[in-house]
Amino acid sequence: MPPALNPRAVLRSGGSAGLLRPVSAAVRTTPSLTRQPAQSPCVPSFTGGRRYLSGPYGYTQAKSLVFSKFGEPSDVLHLHTHSISPTLPDGAVLLRALAVPVNPSDVNTIQGTYGVKPSFSPLLGTPEPSAIPGNEGCFEVVAVGPHVKTLRRGDWAIPATTGFGTFRTHAVAPDADRTVLPIHDTAGLTPAQVATVSVNPCSAYRMLRDYVDLIGQSVAAYSRDPSTPGGAWFLQNGANSGVGRAAIQLGALWGLRSINVVRERATPEATDALKAELTALGATVVLTEAEFLDRAFTTRLRDEFTRGGRDPLLLGLNCVGGKSASAVVKALSPKGVMVTYGGMSRQSFPFPTGPLIFKRLRFEGFWLSEWSKENPAEKKKTIEEIVELMRQGKFQAAPVQEVKWDWETDEKTLQEAVQGTLEGFRSGKGLFVFGNT
Ligand SMILES: NC(=O)c1ccc[n+]([C@@H]2O[C@H](COP(=O)([O-])OP(=O)(O)OC[C@H]3O[C@@H](n4cnc5c(N)ncnc54)[C@H](OP(=O)(O)O)[C@@H]3O)[C@@H](O)[C@H]2O)c1
C-alpha cells in the first residue's frame, strides 16, 4: 500500500513580523497584598463560568513569577502580587491563565543562556526591574477593550509570538488583535492541549515541511515505483520530547516514515514501554541511543529500512547534540539536511569534513521565535491546523506533570516546578494548571 499522503502538501511562505509587548500601563502593584494575601479585599467574581478574584473598584488581583537577574530558577524566581486596572487600553484584552507549560527554553531564559535576553522592566512595580518568563499558554479572555475586533469574552487565547511572559495568573495583552490568537470554539479541546500547541508542535510542523519536501519526495517515489513500501523517511533524536512526539504524529498523518531515537530507561521493561508508546503515536521505528550508535545500525538502515538506500533518508532532526548528532549526520543520505533545534546533552559535535563534502549535506538551525516573527500569518495557520487535528482526536498533546497554581500556592512550589524542567527521564512536561486565582 502507498503511504496515506496528505493532498495539502503545499509549502507555505510567510509575511512580516509582529512583536508582543506583554506589560501594560494597566498593571500596577499592591505590595500589601504580597504580604497579606489572606486579608486582601478580594471578592469572587464570575466570568465565562469561571471564578476570578477582583479587588476594590474592580481591580483584578494577579500574581506573576518574576526574575530580576539571571540564575537558577530556585534562586532568582519570585512570586509577585499586583493588581490590574479595570480600565483597559482601547486595543487590549485582560487574560486569565488556564494552563501554562514550562519548556526547556524558559529555564534557559531564566539562566541567561537563551538566544534572546528579556528586558527587565519597572512596570510591574517589583523592587528591581523584572521580567516574566514563559512563552506559551492557554488563557481565557475575561475583559475586552473597546477597539478589539477579533476576541470576545469567554474565548480562549494563545500568545501569537514567543516572549509573552506566561508564568502569571493574569495578563493584559495590548494590541490584542495582533498579539494573541483567539480560539472561539473550544469544544473538544482542553486547556492543556491548547497551552502546549504553539511551541513544540509548531516547531515539529515547520521542521518537517520547510527544509526538505518529504511529501513531494513520497509522491515522486511512489509514482516511480508503486512497490515503495511507505513515504519518505526522517530521523530524529530526543524522539520522546514534546517536539519529537509531535513530529511522529504529524509525520504519520502525512504518510512519512520515521526513525526515532530515545535514551534507555532504567529497566528494559520501561524502555519497551516507551518504544510501544511512541509506536502507538505513529513511529515507524524506535531505537535506543545504544542501538542507534551501534555499528549494526548502518546495516539495518540500509537493508531493513531503506531498501539498500533506494528510499533515501533526507531529513535528520537533532535536539541532543554530541555523539547522537554525529550519528544523525552519518545516517543521512547524499544531499540530506540536518536541522538542529536543541542541545539537551549540552555537547557540541564536529562538522565532519568528508560527509559534508562527499554527501553534499546541509546543516541548518531552526529557531521558532525568529521564524514566528518573520512569518506571523503562517504561524497562525500552523497553530489553527494543529488545533483542528486535536479537535478531531488526531493529535495528542505530550504527557504533562500538572502543578496546581491557586491564589494560595506558595512561591517554592512554583519555583521547584520550573527548576525540575531540565532534569532527564521525566514522565511529563511541567504544566501549571490554574484553579482559584
Ligand atoms: N529551536 C526551537 O525553536 C525550539 C522549539 C521547541 C523546542 N526546542 C528545543 O527542543 C528540545 C526539546 O524540547 P521539548 O520541550 O520538546 O522537550 P521536553 O518535552 O521537555 O523533553 C525533554 C527531552 O530532552 C531529553 N533530554 C533531557 N536531558 C537530556 C540529556 N542530558 N541528553 C539527551 N537528552 C536529554 C529528554 O529525554 P529523556 O526523557 O531521556 O530524559 C526528552 O526527550 C529542547 O532543547 C528545546 O529547547 C527548540
pLDDT tens track for 87-104: 999 999 999 999 999 999
Ligand 1 centre to CA of 247 (Å) is: 13
Closest Cα to residue 23, out of 179, 182, 164? 164
Residue 201 DSSP label: H
> Among 196, 243, 401, which residue has the most ligand 1 atoms within 8 Å of its CB, making it the best to mutate?
243
Closest residue by CA, ligand 1 atom 32? 345
- The CB-side HSE value for 318 (13 A sphere, CA atoms) comes to 28
User: Average pLDDT of the chain?
Assistant: 89
- In this structure, the residue with its CA closest to atom 21 of ligand 1 is 241
> Which residue's CA is the closest to the ligand 1 atom numbered 7?
200
**Which residue, by CA, sits nearest to atom 11 of ligand 1?**
342
Helix extents (H) in 112-237: 176-179, 191-195, 200-210, 214-224
Nearest CA to ligand 1 atom 23: 241
**Ligand 1 mean position to 242 CA, how many Å?**
7
How remote is the CA of residue 241 from the centroid of ligand 1, in Å?
5
Q: Which atom belonging to ligand 1 lies closest to the Cα atom of 246? A: 16
- To which residue does cell 486582601 refer? 40
341 CA: nearest ligand 1 atom? 1
Tell which one of 113, 344, 375, 400 to mutate to probe ligand 1, the residue whose CB is within 8 A of the most ligand atoms.
Answer: 344
Please state the atom number of ligand 1 nearest to the C-alpha of residue 368.
Answer: 3
* Model pLDDT for residues 192-204, shown as the tens digit of each residue: 999 999 999 999 9
Kindly report the protein residue whose alpha carbon is nearest to atom 33 of ligand 1: 345
Given a cut of 50, whether residue 394 has pLDDT beyond it is yes
Query: Ligand 1, closest atom to CA 421?
Result: 20
Q: What is the Å distance from ligand 1's center to 319 Cα?
A: 6
> C-alpha distances in angstroms, 246 versus 12, 135, 189?
19, 18, 17
Task: Read off the pLDDT of residues 285-328 as tens digits, 9 standing for 90 and up.
Answer: 999 999 999 999 999 999 999 999 999 999 999 999 999 999 99
Instruction: Give 418 Cα–ligand 1 centroid separation in angstroms.
Output: 14
Question: Residue 8 burial (CB < 10 Å; 0-12/13-18/19+)?
Answer: exposed
Is it the case that residue 22 has pLDDT exceeding 70?
no
DSSP state of 328: H
Ligand 1-lining residues (CB < 6 angstroms): 103-105, 199-200, 203, 238, 240-243, 263, 319-320, 341-342, 344-345, 366-368, 398, 424-425, 429
Please tell me the least confidently modeled range out of 7-21, 160-174, 183-197: 7-21
CA atoms of 59 and 27, how far apart (whole Å):
10
C-alpha cell at 345: 546533552
DSSP state for residue 310 in the 8-state scheme: T
Q: How far is the CA of 342 from the centre of ligand 1 (A)?
A: 7
The pLDDT of residue 162 is: 87
Ligand 1 center to residue 168 CA distance, Å?
A: 23
Active site residues per annotation? 114
CA distance 431 to 405: 10
Pocket test of ligand 1: the residue of 199, 319, 324, 340 to mutate, having most ligand atoms within 8 Å of its CB, is 319
Q: Using CA atoms, how far apart are residues 123 and 168, in angstroms rounded to an integer? A: 15
Q: Which of 50-64, 220-234, 323-337, 343-357 has the lowest mean pLDDT?
A: 50-64
pLDDT for 130-174, tens place per residue?
999 999 999 999 999 999 999 999 999 999 988 999 999 999 999
Radius of gyration of the chain (CA): 23
What confidence tier does 55 reach under pLDDT thresholds 50, 70, 90? low
Dist. CA 117 → ligand 1 center (Å): 20
Residue 398 CA: nearest ligand 1 atom is 19
Instruction: Evaluate whether 146 touches 152 at the Cβ level (below 8 Å).
Output: no
Mutation choice for ligand 1 from 102, 162, 241, 275, CB with most ligand atoms inside 8 A = 241
Q: Which atom of ligand 1 is nearest to the CA of 366?
A: 1
Distance CA 250, CA 231 (A): 13
How remote is the CA of residue 244 from the centroid of ligand 1, in Å?
A: 9
- Backbone φ and ψ for 326, nearest 5 degrees, come out as -60, -35
Report the atom number in ligand 1 closest to the C-alpha of 367.
Answer: 3
Rounded to two decimals, what is the model's pTM? Answer: 0.89
- From the list 428, 424, 417, the residue with the least C-alpha distance to 265 is 424
Unique residue bearing C-alpha cell 515505483: 225
